[in-house]
Amino acid sequence: MQHEPQGALPVKDLVSVAHLESDDIRKIFATARTFKAGRGDHSRLLRGKRLGMIFEKESLRTRFTFEIGIQDLGGSAVFLDHRDARLGSRESVMDMAKNLERWVDCIVARTYKHKAVTDFAKHANVPVINGLSDFLHPCQALADFMTLTEKWGDVRGKTLAFVGDGNNTCHSLIHTAAKLGANIRVCTPESYEPNSKVVREAETEASKNGCEVVILNDPREAVDGVDAVYTDVWASMGQEDEREERAAIFADYKVDEELMGLTAGAVFMHCLPAHRGHEVTAAVIDGPNSIVFDIAENRLHVQKAVMALLMTKTPIDTTGVTA
């Protein structure tokens, strides 16, 4: 079932960054920066709009930033905790979507299975935002690259190294880098590389935008001369039973001072929560080149922009704001 876009973006939903054009991403960034700078009164932009939040996973940043964001724009949020009952177990996702579309104006889904997000988007006649799935984490990657554009002005020609597990965050970073013309090197142990379809799609996009996607297994080679180093937990939510096994496999992929010393004075990035002493040392994540809390702050502004651009066609004046 196809639904027409309702807002100022040419898509109805934000399920994947791959569904956006580079200009759409820059529009999100410009809108986010407008909100962040407090330019204009947007406190009634989404007045009367309701956000339904359907979460299977624990959350700090995603829940707080979406709830605060919708309130800042004049709307309200309702939270439905599904940690004790997986989506589709009590009633189908389709039926949930058809109910929710009668009560709310937008749905944020934070799920284990990516199919739950795509099913919500397929069946709901209101915008659906992927708040995280086991395959993608688009809001995180948008906040990551908004933060990099704040630091650098433009990400084109810059190189980001992702060191760790080829997971959901990694997939969305690959999509976003390719769209914006940034080089990305993904470095994982063998058999933990990112999804091959994601890589192929991004390589096609990168060839159009003058950048490259490189998959490696040697951390020292991956970070050599790069502008940013990114890592994430080695065992994501739902992989707790693999934690000890993964700790041994990923031991050589820890981001420490020695590894950062091989870069071009790179900034350090992490989507949080972080485990100091595991995937990253305290000296790196708490050091002067770490931008992890700048990224966390920008989750709020990016998600406000996404909600505004999906739920309303009301023009948002971004004059003078660099995208």
What does DSSP say about strands 159-163 and 228-231: parallel, antiparallel, or unpaired?
parallel
For the chain, state the CA radius of gyration: 19
By C-alpha distance, which of 12, 235, 246 is closest to 121? Answer: 12
Active site residue 33: no
From 232, 246, 270, 303, active-site residue: 232
From 140, 187, 211, 303, active-site residue: 140
Active site residue 106: no
Task: Determine the residue type at 308.
Answer: A
From 42, 110, 246, 270, active-site residue: 110
From 63, 137, 246, 301, active-site residue: 137
Active site residue 299: yes
Task: Determine the residue type at 181.
Answer: G
Helix (H, G, I), strand (E, B) or coil at 194: coil
From 175, 299, 301, 303, active-site residue: 299
Strand order in the sheet with 213-216: 213-216, 183-187, 159-163, 228-231, 267-270
Helix (H), strand (E) at residue 21: none
From 106, 170, 187, 271, active-site residue: 271
Active site residue 71: no
Distance (Å, whole) CA 216 – CA 193: 8
Active site residue 171: no
- Alpha helix ranges (H) inside the chain: 22-37, 61-72, 93-103, 114-123, 138-152, 168-180, 196-209, 219-223, 243-249, 257-260, 282-285, 292-311
Distance (Å, whole) CA 303 – CA 315: 17
Active site residue 137: yes
> Which sequence positions are flagged as catalytic?
110, 137, 140, 232, 271, 299
